[in-house]
Amino acid sequence: MAHVIPAILAGFLLTGLIAATAFAAPFREIKDIYVWCSSGLTCNLTMEPKQSNGLSTLQIERRSGTYDGPTISFGSYPKLAENSILSFEVDGSDIFTKSIDELRFNEPRGEYTLTEPDDVAILLDAMKNGSVVGIQVNNGSSTTTTDYSLSGVVAGLIFIDEAQNRLDQSNALHVKGDLEPRMPNVLSVAALEELPLSLHRWFDGENSPCSFYSNSNRLTYGDGFVINSPYGALYVLPCGDGGAYNQPYALFYLSSSEDAFAERVSLPSVADTGPTVQTDAWNVSWDNKTRELSAFFKGRGLGDCGVSNIWAMPDRERVDLFVLKEIRSRPDCDGDAAGGIDNWPLVWPTAKN
């Protein structure tokens, strides 16, 4: 199905009105565009059509890997006719023309994606120097053009370069320099094939502990991620079905030692009876600058109640070690955000008398 803004971004915007501090991922609205980066630093720049002509969101997306290049995609519902010819133009000047079978179609998301890196580079360069990008669709019987404002695109690309720590590197989107590309310490996980074999049993098959609606397609959202260090890797992955507005995550640590096997990681917590641990975290986000993992279990979809946890990772080498920083709770689902989660009552540490 076509969408106005990506589903994850939409959820961020809606819940962010009430519980913004529960989300550490970078987000910015710049003139006519939105930019959002996941905890795994996959960043998405979104443009909305200036008029509705069948096409919806136009997106520039880039994962954080050293050799991951940008992609350009757009939504369409219903699906375009098989004989469609698409012309891409910037400020009225033709950039190139493609037949529909030269683009990759993602059925669940209703998106068409340019597949050739050279095409992406040519169109992106033109977009950075223009004010309007248009996509003309000729299906043999009619021709329509959907225009998107490019105001804010350059600033959005710089924002992505900064979020992914690519400023002044040769592979930056806009702020290019002579620095060699650096290997990021955080990467998104978007497919079972991107996980080590010792983790596959958790996700492969409908009877696996982390299956999602009898399959593993939740990983394709790309909201799982891995934090790397010289001594090992910590995988933070959506695990199992959580309902309409809560998603549980599990943490797995894989040492860099030879023949290492992935082990599930517990997080410190506090219960009425004293210190304890938990193996699930809900609706997590990771702040790579502060090295803090946040979780927010929503009492309901509006996000005006629930429980928030923050854990700190104090040692950059021990990515399997977390320290509980705080727990906040608001049990009353009354529509009053109480100024945001930072103002909710502390459960731990308790206030000193």
Q: For residues 11 and 349, which has the higher predicted lDDT (pLDDT)?
A: 349
| Residue-level pLDDT at 239 | 94
Indicate the SS3 state at residue 30.
strand
Instruction: Judge whether 256 and 232 are in contact, CB under 8 Å.
Output: yes
| Residue-level pLDDT at 165 | 93
Q: For residues 18 and 289, which has the higher predicted lDDT (pLDDT)?
A: 289
Instruction: Judge whether 268 and 254 are in contact, CB under 8 Å.
Output: no
| Residue-level pLDDT at 54 | 84
Domain boundaries, given as residue ranges, for the chain:
7-163, 186-348
Instruction: Judge whether 193 and 185 are in contact, CB under 8 Å.
Output: no
Q: What would be the CATH architecture of the domain defined by 7-163? A: Sandwich (2.60)
Distance CA 343, CA 338 (A): 7
Q: Which two tokens stand for residue 61?
A: 């997306």
Averaged pLDDT score across all residues of the chain? 89
Residue among 252, 254, 259 at smallest CA distance from 231: 254
pLDDT digits (tens, 9 = 90+) for 52-104: 788 999 999 999 999 999 999 999 988 999 999 999 999 999 999 999 999 99
Q: What number is the average pLDDT over the span 197-208?
A: 88
Question: Which percentage of the chain shows pLDDT scores above 90?
Answer: 72
Q: At what angle do helices 153-163 and 117-128 cross, to 10 degrees?
A: 120
| Residue-level pLDDT at 228 | 94
Its pTM stands at: 0.85
Indicate the SS3 state at residue 155.
helix
Q: Show the CA angle centred on residue 183, arms to residues 233 and 114, nearest 5°.
A: 105
| Residue-level pLDDT at 335 | 86
- Using the predicted structure, report yes or no on whether residue 7 has a pLDDT greater than 80: no
